Amino acid sequence: MALLLCTNPPGVKANVNGALLAGKSVHGAAFFKTLADVPGPVDMVDIFRNSAAAGGVVDEALALKPRPWVIWMQLGVHEDAAAARHRRSGSKSP
Half-sphere exposure (Cβ direction) of 31: Cα atoms closer than 13 Å: 13
CA–CA distance, 60 with 58 (Å, rounded to integer): 5
42 part of a folded domain: yes
- pLDDT score of 63: 93
Q: Which residue has the higher pLDDT, 55 or 13?
A: 55
- Number of domains within the chain: 1
Average pLDDT over residues 80-90: 79
Give the domain range for residue 79: 2-89
Residue 94 lies in a domain: no
Confidence of residue 81 (pLDDT cuts 50, 70, 90): confident
Whole-model pTM: value is: 0.74
Asked whether 14 and 26 are in contact (CB, 8 A), the reply is: no
CATH at 77: 3.40.50.720
pLDDT at 25: 76
Would 15 be classed as within a structural domain?
A: yes
Region 36-54: mean pLDDT is 84
Asked whether residue 7 is assigned to any structural domain, the reply reads: yes
Query: Is the CB of residue 58 less than 8 Å from the CB of residue 79?
Result: yes
